[in-house]
Structure 1
Amino acid sequence: MFWSKKKSLDQGHPAAASSDARPGAKNRPTPRRRDQEAANKRPLVVADRKAARGTDKVRRKEALARQREAMVTGDDAHLPARDKGPERRYLRDYVDARWSVGEIMLPVMLLVLLLSLVRTTWALTTVFVLVYGLIIVAVIDAVLMWRRVKAKIAAKFGPTKVPAGGAMYAVMRAFQIRPTRMPKPQVKRGSFPA
């Protein structure tokens, strides 16, 4: 009914049927929706699963290699999400620039373990004092360090830019021995970030 009128109109006007290339125009007919959807369809499961698994494995290997390299060099583009951002970098640099009690805990605990094998009263008393005393001092040092670095991050980046989970991030980094920290320290001791 309606389309017959359109056909008769198109046949009556030969200029409407032939389209000349106009500048700024699309100059092609709009594709039908069915054709566009068919062109965009891709299978959920590829036909050659073995080849897909191989390419996926290679892609994952390359991504992990870039991430490992970034952990050594400090390249922010390829770091994992928990380490990205200028606030996290500032936090890492601040922790790496200072001496903390937490990083000497592991070597002292090894000494305490050896002392605990000696079954004398003085050795057991020394073990008790060393373990609990060192833990208390390390916790106090970590709390004071976090308060200082939190204030510095708020002053530099703004009070809303203090990273969520930053306290645990800083404390866990402070409790690791410096050479084993990942991402690797990018600053020397004593050179605090500006």
Structure 2
Amino acid sequence: MSSNSLVGVKFLRRGESNPTTDTSSVEAGGTATVEDKSVTLSKGRPTPKRREAEGRRRGPVAPAPKTSKEARARRKSLRGSKEERKASSSDRRKEAQDRRARMLAGEEQFLMPRDKGPVRGYVRDIVDARRNLLGLFMPLAVVLIFSMILSPGLQAIVTLAMLIMMVFMITEGFILGRIVNRRVRERFPDTTERPMSLGWYAFVRASQVRRMRAPKPRVSAGDSI
């Protein structure tokens, strides 16, 4: 039996790969040739998680303070200098004042949720254009309470006067609610606002002193709306 060119060729078992060759071919004549193929080597370590990668980018985490003195010092360093804190506080105060001024001026994006929308703006105009007895309730109530304190003998009279004021207030609030709802339905027939909600909104605004209403009135008393 004659020998062939397979002498010296190492045969691999199942599942084993040759570290130096990937594929082999036999040319005519029996000579084995080897074709090299580039092999991508593994990193040798698992891919880091996103949290770990972000932690490395931020840098090492400072150790926890061991004493209360160290904790106070760290809080002080994080707050910044006194001048920086004053500047930051001044900026926040100016920003709050600017937002309040714009809210009082009636700018839509700065209004509270209860005041937003053309329907609520129209209700405010109706109330502000009227001369309401409801606006006199708080000043008169304060006067009556002080009168009762200064002269306890007037307690019965003051109590009766406050009951009469409450009757007038409830009556006017009911009439105002009907007027507001009727005019709103005429101006905004597709509105989804509930009659009770609009009536209460008008009642609360009418019971406030005109100068203390927010947003500020856009119309004068007696104007036609």
TM-score by length of 1: 0.63
- Distance (Å, rounded) in 2 between the aligned partners of 1:127 and 1:175: 20
- Larger proportion of helix: 1
1:75 paired residue among 88, 107, 130: 107
* CA deviation after TM superposition for structure 1 residue 107, in Å: 1.4
Q: Does 1:90 align with 2:122?
A: yes
Match of 1:153 in 2: 184
Q: How many residues align?
A: 149
Higher CA-based Rg: 2
Gaps of 5+ in 2: 1-49, 60-77
- Distance (Å, rounded) in 2 between the aligned partners of 1:63 and 1:166: 31
Match of 1:171 in 2: 203
Match of 1:8 in 2: none
- Tell which has more relative contact order, 1 or 2 (C-alpha 8 A, sep 6+): 1
TM-score by length of 2: 0.55
Q: Provide Cα deviations, 1:5-32, integer angstroms capped at 9, x if missing partner.
A: xxxxxxxxxxxxxxxxxxxxxxxxxxxx
Q: Does 1:131 align with 2:162?
A: yes
Q: Does 1:140 align with 2:171?
A: yes
Q: Does 1:100 align with 2:132?
A: yes
Q: Does 1:119 align with 2:119?
A: no
CA RMSD for the aligned pairs? Answer: 3.4
Identity %: 25
Gaps of 5+ in 1: 1-37
Q: Does 1:190 align with 2:218?
A: no
Contact 2:177–2:200 (CA under 8 A) maintained in structure 1: no
Contact 2:173–2:203 (CA under 8 A) maintained in structure 1: yes
* CA deviation after TM superposition for structure 1 residue 167, in Å: 2.3
